[in-house]
Amino acid sequence: MSANRKSSTNRKTEDVLIPEKLYFRIGEVSRLCKLPAYVLRFWETEFPQLKPAKSGTGQRMYRRREVELALHIKKLLYDEGFTIAGARQQLKLEAKPAKLQSALPFVAPANHDGLKRVRAQLQEILAMLSAKPHVSHSKPATAAHK
């Protein structure tokens, strides 16, 4: 392990050196992840984010991002003790914050003004309703029999 690691949360699954290539076959990913190929194929059914392209001959062709994802899934399941469902949920949570953070500055001002308008309109309706006496055009059935 090198001394220039960015954080202490790096574990053995993150220490893998991934070669600079565009695509990796399932056997290469299997060796990099130190997992049998059938585990990777099973994970493809359980994790929608893990979808390697297939070549014309049907070979799975993993991109670097998918190799990194497979290593991350291995870390969640084997090192951190997540269940498959828990790891799937964790991956969803990790993907969401980036989207929410970039959207917050743009959404907040528009919603604030919209809420003020809705509040003012509701207050106008309330004023109209409380100013007019309630007139019923039909008598309730219980009042007619008394």
Q: How many domains, the chain?
A: 1
pLDDT of residue 5: 35
127, part of any domain: no
Range of the domain at 37: 12-91
116, part of any domain: no
Kindly report the CATH number assigned to the domain that includes residue 54. 1.10.1660.10
Number of Cβ within 10 Å of residue 73's Cβ equals: 26
Tens digits of pLDDT across the chain (146 residues): 443 333 333 334 457 888 898 999 999 999 999 999 999 999 999 999 999 999 999 999 999 999 999 999 999 999 999 999 999 999 998 887 655 555 555 544 555 677 888 888 989 988 888 886 655 666 655 555 55
144, part of any domain: no
70, part of any domain: yes
Do the beta carbons of residue 15 and residue 4 sit within 8 Å? no
CA–CA distance, 37 with 60 (Å, rounded to integer):
11
pTM metric for this prediction: 0.57
CA–CA distance, 12 with 75 (Å, rounded to integer):
8
At 43 the three-state DSSP class reads helix
- Per the document, the length of the chain is 146
Angle at 70 between CA 16 and CA 57, to 5 degrees: 105
**H-type helices in 1-146, by residue range?**
26-33, 37-46, 64-74, 84-131, 141-144
- Using the structure block, give the residue that is written with the tokens 């991002």: 65
